[in-house]
Every structure is written in C-alpha cells, then in structure tokens.
Structure 1
Amino acid sequence: MKIKLILLLSLFSVGFSSFGQKKKSNNPPNIILIMVDDMGYSDIGAYGSEISTPNIDKLAFEGIRLKEFYNNSICAPTRASLITGQYPHKAGVGYFNVNLGLPAYQGFLNKESLTFGEVLKTAGYNTFLSGKWHVGNDSLYWPNQRGFDKFYGFIGGASNFYADPKDVPVELVENNKRITLKEGEYLTNTITDKALSFIDEQQKTQKPFFLYLAYNAPHWPLQALPEDIAKYRGKYALGWDSLRTIRHQKQIALGLVDPKHPIATRDEDVPHWDAFTYDEQQLWQRKMEVYAAMLDRVDQNIGRVVAKLKELKKDENTLIVFISDNGAQGGYAPLGRKRPRNSGPIGSAGSYEYQDQSWASLSNTPFRSYKNNFHEGGISSPFIAWFPKKIKAGSIARGTGHLIDLAPTFYDFAGAKYPENYNGLKTNSLAGVSLKNVLLEGSALNREQPIFWERGGNRAVRKGQWKLVSTYPEKRWELYDLDADRGETTDVSAKNPEIVKALIAEYEAWAKKNNVENYEKIKPAVQIGNGTRF
C-alpha cells in the first residue's frame, strides 16, 4: 500500500510538472507594432543615419534587421495591407481612403478582410491602437468597430502636432468620442501617453496584448519641440549631396548594403547643394533640422515604451516590430513652386512646411525615387524585430518581406488561427507568409510567389532577383537585377525580354485576381500623389 501511494504521488508530481511546463511554454507573447510615417530607409542610426535614435538602434542591435522589407509606397494602401494581411485592392483600399465607386477602391476596409484586432481578440488578446488610422473615415469603420478594444488617435491621413490657438483645432478620436488635442500637448508624446495607459490598465486582465503604435511623425507638417530642434543646429550644413555619400558608406560598414551595388543616380530635380546662396542654405538646413527633431522625439518615446515593459516585467515576453509606411516624401521640385501656408517659422505650431524632394533623396539613401513610386526609394522600409532571448542579437537577414507577411507572422507567434468565416462572412485568405522562422533563425526567406504592387497607375513585380516596374503615365516596363543593382541604375529589360514577358503575365494574373482596374478608367479628378500634398 505504501509503495502504491509513493508511485501515485510520483506520477502526480510528474503530471503536475508537465502541466506547469506546458502552461509556461504556452505563454503567448505581447506584440507591439510600431510604424512611423514618411520616413526613409536610411533615417535611423541602425540604417545609416546621423539622426540620434539610440532607443530604436538598441532594438536593432539587440534584435534583427532585414535588408529588404517592402511597403506599398503611400499611407492608406500600406495600412490596409498591414492591418489585414491582404493586398490593398483585396482589402478595399486600392487607391486611397477615398471612394472611387468600386469594391476594390471603396476607401475603407471591407469586412471580409480581418484586422489584427479581430483575429487576435479570438486568441484571447487585448487589442490597442494609438495613433493614425487612415483606412476608413466613416465612424462605422473606425478602430473600435474593427476589433480594437481601445483607440486614441486621428482618423485621416495627417494631423498637426501642436494645438495652435490661432489655427483650427487638432481633431482626435478616443474610443469613438471626438476630442481635440489640448494646448501645450505635442501629439507624438500624447500618442505614447495613451499607449502606456493602455498597457497599465491591461495589467488587470492577465491577458497578452497587441499594441499598434502608429506615429504620424515625421510626416508633414514639420513641427517639433524647441529642445529637440536645438540638438540639430548646424548638423545639415554639409547638404544632401555630401550627407548622402556619408550615409551610404555607413550602410556598407553596417552590412546592410552591398559595396558592389552602385548608389542610385541623383534625381535631375534635386539641385546641387552648392547651387544655393548662404541664406538659401540656412532655410534648407532648417527643414532637415526639424525633420530630424521629429524622429528624435519618436525615438525618445519608444524608449518610454521599452522602459514601461521592463517596469512591468513584460519585456522578455514581448515582440516589438518597427517599420515605416513608405519612403520619404518627394515629388516636389524644390524650386519654382507655390510655398505652403505658414503662420510661424519652420518647426513651430504655425509651420506647414514639408521635407521636400532634395532632403528626401538623402532619407531614401541608397535608393531611387520617393513616396508614391514603386522604385526602391518609395517602397523600401527599415525593419527591426526585437524579442529578448528569442531573436539573436545583432542579426541581419535579407528578407525579402512585405507588409502582407506581418499578419501571418503575428498570428504564428500568438498561436492565433485565422478564421475561414467570421460573423457569417467568408474571409479573404491571407496573402503573405509567416516570417517567424526568419526572425528566430535569421534565415533568408525563399518566397515561392512574387510580390506585386499597383496604385495610381504605377505597377511593379518583385520575384527573386528580378524587379519589374512601370511608372504612370508611362506604360513601358523597366527591369532591374536587384542582386547586382538594388539602386536600379541600369534597366536590363532589353537584354531579358523573356523574363519581362513572364513577369508581365504573372502581374496580369495577380491584377485580375485582386480586381485591379485600368487606372485611366477610374482615376479621380484630383489625383492623390504625383505632386499633390497628402
């Protein structure tokens, strides 16, 4: 009898221990997705910048960076793909957050394309969003109606950073209630304040959480705190030509850029820095000083988020991903255009200046072109993932990733099943692939399917080493071998007609599957992008 009792207790002990181990291993991570707005590939220190971003850089050097990660080149279509894991047309935002009269171009997320919030809630997560939404203006399609437990931020595409009593109020929304930014607040700080309050309140639930932290900096208008601007006085006296070379050399040293690849040819609309007078250079410097200050403040706030995780002892079970929604904003010739409306100096509450094409060419180093274009400068984002003791510190991988991959990646980490049906509707299946193994093992991603883009008549395909791209209103296709020339300096389409033909066929099949229309048939009277400020 005594032996049986000992054996029973022993079995109970083993079973209890196994249960405890199972419970511990089945501890889904918290997930924080940080997106900045209109920031170029090289604008943080870990990707070659002179801008002070120690907190972001720490995430990079303690985690993994991808050399190749793609967005959709402009705000709303990027967010549609990001939030749903769909190509933007499939999600209903094939053009922008305006309705062009067709389901693929309705300007808000359709119900067949599930959001992070909707899917992760089914897996037991608290879901939060603080910052920019921009995928549905009507209140029926705001974040709280699309699976987010709590939301603070703004609905449209841009916002002032200060509450200026001489200007229109800064309109915000908090959990479906319209509010305004208070005088004395700076929006980047307030977006973080709300995110931290969400995390604090979430402590009571004992659930894992998902936080989408969508900063609007450094998107125009150029408005920054005086103490941040002061750090960058005189830092840009060298001009964009010299600083672009310096950044490129740093990227090579960091192992992010192949030294054999030529840097992209300077845009013909970007003048040489030495062509300006001393006073003109002072004005241009001020723009980049403020732009840098805006990113500096984002970095400070990311430091606050990490500090909060450590305070609550959540840091070792939290995955953080950092990306940008598109390349830096160009598209404007720096001379001979109407100046924006300003009621104060650059950087102040009355400033409506933007970075402009010349400085954007620096931000997008070493690539070609800008936001709204499908050359590498428009669609390349830095990508950082940090997960202590899970992701090997200091890793760099090729990728090649895209926004559509983040939803399956997060669901993979969370153990969340993407439903085939939701609220009586058959859902759109996820378009991307999980990057979990890439992040945890640092391995290259071998994509079986190409990546595709279309917006406003611009088109592109990326398959393996090949990139096919066409820029509206031209209809011809250019072909680049990105294994040898990621700066896209040499069009090799004439030498590879069979590759061009094959990629066009794949593009057309994808376009048909995703209800992509001929842009000439649907283009609005006022086009967003291609020179329009947005």
Structure 2
Amino acid sequence: MKRIIVVFALIFVLFHQAIAQNNSKRPNIILIMADDLGYSDIGAYGSEIQTPNLDKLANSGLRLREFYNNSICAPTRASLLTGQYQHKAGVGFFNVNLGLPAYQGYLNKESLTIAEVLRNAGYSTLMAGKWHVGDDSLAWPNQRGFDHFYGFIGGASNYFDIGSYPEKAPPVVLVKDNQKLKLKPEQYLTDEITNNAIGFLEEQNSTGKPFFLYVAYNAPHWPLQALPEDIAKYKGKYDIGWDSLRTRRIARQRESGILLPGQTINTRDSLVPDWNNLSYEEKQLWKSKMEVYAAMIDRMDQGIGRILDKLKSLKKDDNTLVIFISDNGAQGGYASLGRRRPQRNSGPLGTAGSYGYQEQNWAYVSNTPLNNYKNNMHEGGISAPFIAWYPKQIKGGSIAKGTGHLIDLAPTFYELAGAKYPVKYNGTTPNALAGKSLVPVLLGKEVEVARNEPIFWERAGNRAVRKGKWKIVSTYPGYKWELYDLETDRGETKDVASLHPEIVNELSSDYFKWAEKTGVVDYEKIKPKGGFMIPGAERQL
C-alpha cells in the first residue's frame, strides 16, 4: 500500500513539474495600445516627444512600416480582441445597437476574445484601461475572459476627478473586477492604469502560470488633461509651429528608415493655416494644445517604463513578448462635417475640467507622412506605429514592411502560446479566425504577412481594400473608388483609378464578396436617424 502511495505521489510531482516546465517555456504577452495616437507621435517613428521607453523597445525589437487598424475606437478594439473583422464580431459601427447582428454594439459569443482562448489554455488574463466593446455588464471584461480588470467601460474619460460638476461633465466612473469606483482627487488616470497593471502582475506572479496583459491607455485621446510637471517639459517646444515640426518629423523618418527613399508624403492639408499667418494670441493657444498633448504621451511612456521595470524585477523580461500599437490615426476634426462646437470647460487647458482636443492643425503633423485622419480609410486614418519586443527571439533594431492588421494579433498570440483555437466553446461554434500569424514576420523569416486574400475595411460608409501594392478607397457619402499604388505612393497623392480600371474592378468585386460574407450593410440603410453623436464629441457623424 505504501509503495502505491509513493508511486502516485511521484506521478503527481512529475505531472506538476511538467506543467511548470511547459509554462516556463510559453511566453508571457503584453499588448499595449494607445488611443488616437498618430503614426509619427513617438520618437521611434519620428517624433520630438520624449518616449525613451518605447524607443528602447523599438531599438532592441522590431518596427513595422505598415500596420493597420479600423480607423476608430470601438471597431478597432473589436478586431483586436477577437481576431475578427469588426462586423463579424458585432461592432460594425460603434458601441451602439443599430438592430442587426453585425451592428449590435458589443462582442458576440461566436467571436472569442484573446482572453477567453488564452485562459482556456492555462494563461492568467489581465487588463487595465479602456474597454469600449460592450456597455452592458454582461459584456464587460470579466465576463469575456479576463481574470482581472481595472479601467472604464465606455469610449472616453476625464483623466482627473473634477468634483461635482454635473452640468459640465460626469464624474469618472471606473470599474475594477465588476465593482464601480471613482477616481480620487489626487489621482491621474494614466498613472492608475499603469498602477493596476503592475499590481495585477505582482499578484499573478505566485500562480506559476504565463500571463496575457492588455494595457489599453486612453492617452492621448481628448480631453487634453495632463500633469503640470509633464506639461512643463514641453514649454516652448512647439513655438516653431506645425509646418516646421512636420518637416523635422519627415527628416527623422527618412533617417531612421521608417520612410523609404522614393516614397511619397501626403500633400499639405489645405485646411491647415500657415503658422506664420497666425496672430500672436492664436499661436499661444495652438502651441499650448500640443504641449499638453505631448505631455499625455510622455506620461504614458513613463508608465510603460514602469511596467517594463516590474517585468524585469519579476525576472520575466527574457520570456515576454511586448507589442505596442495605436487604435487609429490622430483625430483631425472631420473637416467635411465642420469643426467641433466649443467645448464645455471648467478649467484652463490641460487641467481638470478642460475639454480641448488636438484638432486638425496638429493632427496633420501627428499622422506624418500619411493622408487624412481618424474615421477615414486613407492611410492616416488606419495606420499605426507597431513595435514588437521579444528578447532573444526578435532581432533588435529591425524594420520590416509588415502589412499586418489587427486581425493578425490573435493568431500570432495563439501560435506563440501553443493555444488551440476551440472548435466549441461553452456550447457555441466560434467564428473562424480571419487573420494570419505575424510570427514569421516577427522572427525575421518574412518581411510581410503572406495572405491568400486582401485586407478589407468598412465603417460608416467609408470603405477600402488593400491587395498587394494596390489599395482602393472611397469616402462616404461618395461611392467612387480611388486607386493608389502604395509601393511608391504611401502618401496617396496620385489617384490612378482611371489608368487601371481592371484593378479597381477586381478589388471592388473582392470587396462586395467580403461584405456579403461578413454582414456589412450599406450605411444608408442603417445609419442612425438624425446622425450619431459620439459621446462627448459635440458633433454628429
């Protein structure tokens, strides 16, 4: 009998040792996403903003020249979290219900989140920051696979608690593991997102499991609110104005290799005034906006540095993949629809209660060298910086073309984690994954993702298709396709649709087949009556 007990005890020990050994080989994964950050807004992509921690990741990791999102917050997050096109995941328009499955405004059960799949594979799943893919508590992070969550559910938040000013703005309502709480007067939201991410890592350290941590910062999304010490670092930095600053960013991009020789840059936005024609008072206002915007990015980078320090102190840095992206391009102001109405303010720019935003004049710089802005399917609306860092696996200082998309992240993580994508999950048959693994690109075996079909976009009537070097794009309410050769014209300066009608016909045919398969509906048939107000945006779409 004693011999049998000893044998079972030995089997038990060996079994758990095997699990521990397997877990030690599987990488931890940290996915960091900024909000409304333009393509050139960090140092590694040409910016003057101080982002030493992101720059360090870039210099010892990989940057992609081409990585795509869905042009606006909620649809991007739906694809990011599920590996599905946003319509297939149920968030085809925004986090509002338009009455059809593809437009229900929250993640459907058939679209499994990265957290659900990785938790099923033995990972701890952690999140801090902005959710924005389901307002109802049944669709919150803890209900969609995350062991722990701290952050806010909707699309925007103040960075400071501004006290009781219901006529100005609602208080900051946060959630931690399904319990509501409020920001304290001395707290700054970017720091609290970082603090909770670090706290989750400390708590998870005793589990013996690998982890997936998703950090969704809301910086530098409006309102422009930053800490005084961070704003002070940028005083005078933007006195030169947007035209000179953009020229300097382009020069840095060329020097670093992010912008290749012979590649076009977008033409000057005709709606952006010449800096030298502004009055002294106008210049003071405009440069102050960019000082606060830069300070918000700076503080986010400081937080990323603290997370990396914690990773190192836990001795997990050598076996962790870190990826950094943005959810869309910088917010231009939707020029075709007019500028936003004056904002509600109960404090000076940058302070608690101020509701300024970057606006098109500076967003034109943020999206350098690309064309257009957030909510548009030209390159400036759907392109993000992409940094991947994985010690001993990713070659340091490398830059690749990439041509990746949000839908590629889920299959990438599953491959690295050895996680099998379920055939059935809680009685539901999951949607097939739409993307391709980025692993060959990350490890330097390929320079771009090898696909069997194009990449597609649709949101609020704006449409695009990317196939090889070709891209077609149309902007609502128009239906006419433009055609660009992105191999030489990433700035989308020359529409060659009339020269290559056969390419337009081929890609548009691909688009309509995809739209039917994915549940896309003509926007005219589903658009909200009277337009749609983005919460807090003070204008209709």
Short-chain TM bin: over 0.9
- In structure 2, the residue corresponding to 1:426 is in which secondary structure? coil
* Contact in 2 for aligned 1:453/1:460 (Cα 8 Å): yes
Q: TM-score, normalised by structure 1?
A: 0.94
Q: Following TM superposition, by how much is the alpha carbon of 1:23 offset from its aligned partner in structure 2, in angstroms?
A: 3.8
**1:532 matches 2:539:** yes
Map of 1:6 onto structure 2? none
Give unpaired runs (5+ residues) of structure 1: 1-15
| TM-superposed deviation, 1:533 | 7.4
Which residue is equivalent to 2:311? 309
1:414: which partner in 2?
A: 417
Query: Structure 1 residues 24, 415: closer, same or farther in 2, change over 3 A?
Result: closer
Structure 2 vs 1, CA of residues 220 and 252 (structure 1 numbering), >3 Å: closer, same or farther?
same
Q: C-alpha distance in 2, partners of 1:204/1:533?
A: 49
User: Of residues 231, 238, 244 in structure 2, which corresponds to 1:229?
Assistant: 231
Deviation at 1:259, TM superposition (A): 2.6
2:180 maps to 1:178: yes
CA drift of 1:57 comes to 0.4
Question: Is the 2:471–2:486 Cα contact (8 Å) retained in structure 1?
Answer: yes
Counterpart of 2:378 in structure 1: which amino acid?
Answer: H
Contact 1:64 1:442 in 2 (8 A): no
Q: In structure 2, what is the Cα distance between the partners aligned to 1:395 and 1:150? A: 34
Cα deviations by residue, 1:198-248 (Å, 9 ceiling, x for unpaired):
000101111000000000000000000000000000101111111111101
1:485 to 484, 489, 494: 489
Q: Secondary structure at the match of 2:25?
A: coil
Q: Distance in 2 between matches of 1:455 and 1:84?
A: 17
Superposed, 1:17-32 pairs within 5 Å as: 23=21, 27-32=25-30
> For structure 1, which segment, 300-309 or 262-271, has the greater mean C-alpha deviation from structure 2 after superposition?
262-271
Structure 1: how far apart are the matches of 2:538 and 2:410? 32
Alignment of 1:158-177 (within 5 A): 158-167=156-165, 168-177=170-179
Whole-angstrom distance in 2 between the partners of 1:500 and 1:531:
37
> Tell me, what secondary structure is at the counterpart of 1:421?
coil
Matched letter for residue 363 of structure 2? A
What letter corresponds to residue 216 of structure 1 in structure 2?
A: N
Alignment partner of 1:151 is 2:149: yes
For residues 92-107 of structure 1, the aligned pairs below 5 Å read 92-107=90-105
Amino acid at match of 1:440: L
Which residue of 420, 427, 431 maps to 2:430? 427
Instruction: Say whether residues 1:512 and 2:519 are aligned partners.
Output: no
* 1:494 corresponds to which of 498, 516, 531: 498
Aligned to 1:139: 137
Report how far residue 443 of structure 1 moved.
2.3
Paired residue for 1:69?
67
Match of 1:215 in 2: 217
- From 338, 342, 346, give the equivalent of 2:345: 342
**Identity in percent:** 66
Amino acid at match of 2:236: G
In the TM superposition, residue 151 of structure 1 has moved relative to its aligned partner by: 0.5
Shift >6 Å, 4+ stretches: 19-22
Report the Cα offset of residue 342 of structure 1. Answer: 1.0
Equivalent residue letter for 1:113: S
1:458 aligns to 2:462 (yes or no)? yes
Does the CA-based 8 Å contact 2:23-2:209 persist in structure 1?
no
For the structure 1 residues 437 and 335, does the alpha-carbon distance in structure 2 shift closer, same or farther, using more than 3 Å as the test? closer
Query: Displacement of 1:447 after TM fit?
Result: 2.1
Shift of 1:338: 3.0
Structure 1 residues 257-280: Cα deviation after superposition (integer angstroms, max 9, x where no partner): 123122101222211111210111
Please provide the CA RMSD for this pair.
Answer: 1.9
Q: Deviations over 1:462-482 (max 9, x none)?
A: 000001000001110000000
Hey, what's the Cα distance between the residues in 1 that align with 2:338 and 2:498? 35
- Per-residue CA deviations over 1:85-137 (Å, capped at 9, x if unaligned) read 00000000000000000000000000000001100011100001100000000
2:473 paired with 1:469: yes
Distance in structure 1 (CA, Å) of the matches to 2:142 and 2:430: 19
Distance 2:299 2:278 in 1: 30
Q: Deviations over 1:153-204 (max 9, x none)?
A: 0000000000112433210111011111111100000011111110001011
1:31-42 aligned within 5 A: 31-42=29-40
Offset from partner CA, 1:20-70 (integer Å, 9 cap, x none): 899469710110000000000000000000000000000010100000000
Single out whichever of 234-243 and 81-90 deviates more from structure 2: 234-243
Q: Does 1:393 align with 2:396?
A: yes
Deviation at 1:532, TM superposition (A): 3.2
Alpha carbons 1:397, 1:442 under 8 Å: kept:
no
Cα shift at 1:444: 1.4
Instruction: Please say if residues 396 and 442 of structure 1, whose CA atoms lie closer than 8 Å, have aligned partners that are also in contact.
Output: no
